[in-house]
Structure 1
């Protein structure tokens, strides 16, 4: 009876075409609203700290950190825009219209592809720095890195607009009723997205980081072989051995976290529109977005300068005159 008098409808005036208001039990409210909201706030906070730190302190204006800044911007937008809209899309009626729904769909492709592109740029930067250190200062300059970052964002905007171009022709054509925003990915578009946003970046990242790891290990072994003093050799051996373990652990975290967060989404997207539109896809998509929460942890929290920069930001010491020249390295 409640649905007949419009009490549970998103648009009571549209009796035959309106969607019903979601009414999940409290256990699902925790999983669908409270936990994702916390992740969204955490994502925005961590990436905002990276953005402020790299932008403010002059010592951090390096080619590597420029890419890190771009990654933090894309992940910041992920937490600020995509995550809250995704929560709204799955826990409440959609009152923003079909065109905004299509824009959100396009924006999700733009931001995620920019984030993946930045990860590829970081792997290329580390590859050149470790495998060809003598030519690194001349090959990887700030201007070239800025150009690559701009191209990454431009390509992401073009790609994100092109892959959902049909959604803009007839906005909301996949919606079954008023008050919902369905995100559907066709088989062809899903396959293209799988290749462009996952398979190719994964191959590049894995190959480059494996090469970096091999070179780092070979350099460490070469250093041990040239040590003549026994006591010094033992000390260097212990240091290099720890370095090898740290390098292996870091590279493993980078690759494994990326795969864990991205593989389920693309498996579900290729499974079909019905599965992609189900409640299971909500958790898969948030796991996909959760990579943006982990990126600042992986790429920034491992660095001592970031902890010092965060301390200066939190204590508002960056508001003091000349704070941008502070020595934090």
Structure 2
């Protein structure tokens, strides 16, 4: 959240003198271009994820356990679209809002990021059961269980955040100068965050998807040679739709991992060595930009998403009974 650089030459609050933080100075044309590009990305993230939220919430045929998980991911991505605005404000290294807004931003970032990672883990578990144990999938993964898992995921994210940060109790007390937005994070808390929000989730996701990939490959070979696949539960047939969903969500998971790896690597390096502000800004924006990518993946890989978008654009969604439309 805090950014600093060696080439800062202007103060965030000139009237405060040395009490003020220093800001990054860029050519006006560069600053304007950056603000336009980043603001456009923010609007795009909010708009695309709002489409996903409306589509899954409106069309009853799409209200499956897997899509409820996509809805949870879209909600967290939608929130990140708004958080993008705060990150744009921090682009020159100055925080011009109140300490209260700093608390809100800090807390919201951790809650949403934790919920995103938790949802990706749930998606991996969902695909693991669907592909590796398809016979029992409808009874093991029900819409109500999916909803309860999502609620629990968000609740745990909120609880974890209040344990993780101390800025809530002491807003602004850890700022070294006026114009900062910093949170005190103990070394133990940092290690806890590394394990609970990176190492453990990523390990679970990778292990589950490796298993899904192995089963999917063996199933594809069996289908090709018309031989049944023997699983621990007997001879089961994995539905093509479940395999396709696993591929699509596999892309979502891989893109997500690609966006968080640089962020955590740079975060770890920042604790041991000096990291340039440009590197920090880049990995933060890469992490946030992932929220824009997910809906794009659905557009290209999910026919029902494209069909649903046509319903919204043509305003057919406003017609009576449109929620019952068969768009699968």
TM above 0.5, one fold? Answer: yes
Query: Following the alignment from structure 1 to structure 2, what is the Cα–Cα distance between the partners of residues 256 and 276?
Result: 26
Q: Provide the residue aligned with 1:312 in structure 2.
A: 311
The question of 1:259 aligning with 2:257 is answered yes
CA contact (8 A) 1:206 1:255 kept: no
Q: Provide the residue aligned with 1:4 in structure 2.
A: none
Distance 1:297 1:190, change over 3 A: farther
CA-CA distance at 1:98 after TM superposition: 2.1
CA-CA distance at 1:70 after TM superposition: 0.7
- Structure 2: runs of 5+ lacking an equivalent: 1-9, 228-239
Q: Provide the residue aligned with 2:120 in structure 1.
A: 119
CA-CA distance at 1:21 after TM superposition: 5.5
Query: Following the alignment from structure 2 to structure 1, what is the Cα–Cα distance between the partners of residues 326 and 293?
Result: 27
CA-CA distance at 1:325 after TM superposition: 1.2
Query: Could you give the per-residue CA deviations for residues 52-74 of structure 1, whole angstroms, max 9, x where no partner exists?
Result: 10011111111111111111000
Query: Following the alignment from structure 1 to structure 2, what is the Cα–Cα distance between the partners of residues 89 and 283?
Result: 13
CA-CA distance at 1:275 after TM superposition: 4.6
CA-CA distance at 1:256 after TM superposition: 3.6
Query: Following the alignment from structure 1 to structure 2, what is the Cα–Cα distance between the partners of residues 280 and 75?
Result: 23
Query: Following the alignment from structure 2 to structure 1, what is the Cα–Cα distance between the partners of residues 244 and 52?
Result: 23
CA-CA distance at 1:308 after TM superposition: 0.4
CA contact (8 A) 2:167 2:182 kept: no
Query: Following the alignment from structure 1 to structure 2, what is the Cα–Cα distance between the partners of residues 204 and 114?
Result: 15
CA contact (8 A) 2:72 2:119 kept: yes
CA-CA distance at 1:221 after TM superposition: 1.4
Q: Provide the residue aligned with 1:29 in structure 2.
A: 31
The two structures, once aligned, show a CA RMSD in angstroms of 2.8
Residue-pair matches, total: 305
Query: Following the alignment from structure 1 to structure 2, what is the Cα–Cα distance between the partners of residues 324 and 133?
Result: 28
Which SS does the other structure have where 2:19 is aligned? Answer: coil
Query: Following the alignment from structure 2 to structure 1, what is the Cα–Cα distance between the partners of residues 253 and 122?
Result: 14
CA-CA distance at 1:156 after TM superposition: 0.5
**Relative to structure 2, which stretch is displaced further, 46-55 or 283-292?**
283-292
Query: Scaled by the length of structure 2, what TM-score is found?
Result: 0.83
Q: Provide the residue aligned with 1:41 in structure 2.
A: 43
Query: Following the alignment from structure 1 to structure 2, what is the Cα–Cα distance between the partners of residues 159 and 63?
Result: 25
Q: Provide the residue aligned with 1:325 in structure 2.
A: 324
Q: Provide the residue aligned with 1:190 in structure 2.
A: 190
Aligned residue among 269, 272, 279 for 2:270: 272
Aligned residue among 11, 14, 17 for 2:16: 14
CA-CA distance at 1:300 after TM superposition: 5.6
CA contact (8 A) 1:182 1:277 kept: no
Q: Provide the residue aligned with 2:288 in structure 1.
A: 289
